Structure 1
Amino acid sequence: MKGSDSSPPLRALLLLVLLAAVALTLYLSPLSTTPPHPDTTTTSNLLKALQQRQTSYKVLSDKVVYDRYARVYSRQIRFPDGRQFDFDVWGRVWKNDSFAVVTVVPFDRPTKTFTLVREYNIAHARYVYSFPQGQYERSKHRSIRHGAAAELEEEAHLQCDEWVNLLHNDLGRGAPQDKYQRETVHYFLCTAAHHVQHAADRDEEENIEVVRGVTATQLRQLVAAGALQSNNIAAALMALHELSTLRLLPYTA
């Protein structure tokens, strides 16, 4: 009799444990496969705030104070409260008349891996990883994306068959490189590419090693180790997010 009296509570307890396990599975499973949907209303308001505030600043003058491979300007700015300040602003002008930079993240669908390049960073005197990148030249390239395609072929010996603009609402402006630097960066993801046997020549000073087969986990680890240049860290994070949105990689929060 004692056994029959205790079995209903035991069955109820087992049922509660089972229901809790099912609920936990349903709660966690979307997080591992589906990226969250952004709040477009909030994002729109954040972007409007930038536009509203930038009109209260005014560039009063730009004077070139140095001009070789890089060009340095003395720029005078008037702040909203009327104060005026001079800043050194610079940009690379060697073979470039637009201050636009292109960065391409090459992704191989069959292996789910990335292609990087490894080269010596002149300013920091150490080796770093990066994605194929370079300057958009109006006199040489038909468009920003044509410039990206040229850099991808020259540096990684790849031609892209499927392009994704990682700056979805960019309107062709690019992302500012730095507070005092005039370059803007245009980020692209290549989701299908093929190898080029006889690629275009690299620039004379480019001493580049192509590194293929880098996994998403390895890419995240390189980012965390500071082994990529800062604008390439942004490219890596945007590409990983975009690939999860396209269901080409599992989503990782």
Structure 2
Amino acid sequence: MKYILQLQDVEYEYPDGTKALKGVSIAVEKGKKIAVLGANGAGKSTLFLHLNGILKPKKGKLFYNGEEVRYDRKSLIQLRKKVGIVFQNPDIQLFAASVEQEVSFGPMNLNLPIPEVKQRVEDSLKSTDTYLLKDKPTHFLSYGQKKRVSIADVLAMDPEIIIFDEPTAYLDPYHIEGIIDIFNALSIKGKTIIVSTHDVELAYSWADYIYIMKEGEIVSSGTPDKVFCDSKLLQIAKLKKPMLVEIYSLLVDRGIIKHQHPPRNMEELRKIL
């Protein structure tokens, strides 16, 4: 099987001696929805900074479309056209005076024709429901608006893979739902989505494949039903079972339903009942 993005046995140590990644290997299929879970300090953000070449591994390799990534300037520029990252804190990412200037910065640096830049900016703002904010100063935006604009930033570059570091952190349920809608729209377009999150409900219902990290290592990976039905694993990783899995397990234990494939959403649970 050919993977669009791979890390092989990657190790990384920060200057203070902290070993953030310890022989991490992941393989991502094109067009899939991937969730990475783990407690704070597990290494999720460090992992993501390796996926588009911001950090260079002390040991191990990064592959894009089957080819090993080189760390010269030209190679990294090409990689970052294909792999975009939306940081957890939007204030790290936003710097331009207005929303429109912010989102146009990336496409302008690709030396695209002005009409194409304008079209990309318009499409990105509309897809993130921020078009009406295009003339607004970025420092006047709410936190939720900044999150959406930071996503529009990356969408305007039209990458094949989009990485989201804790995209729903500090958002209310309404804005979380809006972010998930953006994920689903991107998935329909064939984009590969990689998300780090503490939200087990989101990971269980949304992802095609899950990686669990602890102390710089991948301790498990698999489909959501495999991962979240493993009570011992979740205890080791300090994660809770999603509510649907808890309900399903209770119904099976009480003999109300027979053991089968656990439901991924409320609609599937209703069908079982």
TM-score interval for Structure 1 and Structure 2 normalised by the shorter chain: under 0.3
- Which structure would you say has the larger Rg? 1
More helix by share: 2
Query: What TM-score comes out, normalization by structure 1 length?
Result: 0.23
More strand by share: 1
Query: What TM-score comes out, normalization by structure 2 length?
Result: 0.22
Higher relative CO (CA 8 A, sep ≥ 6), structure 1 or 2?
2
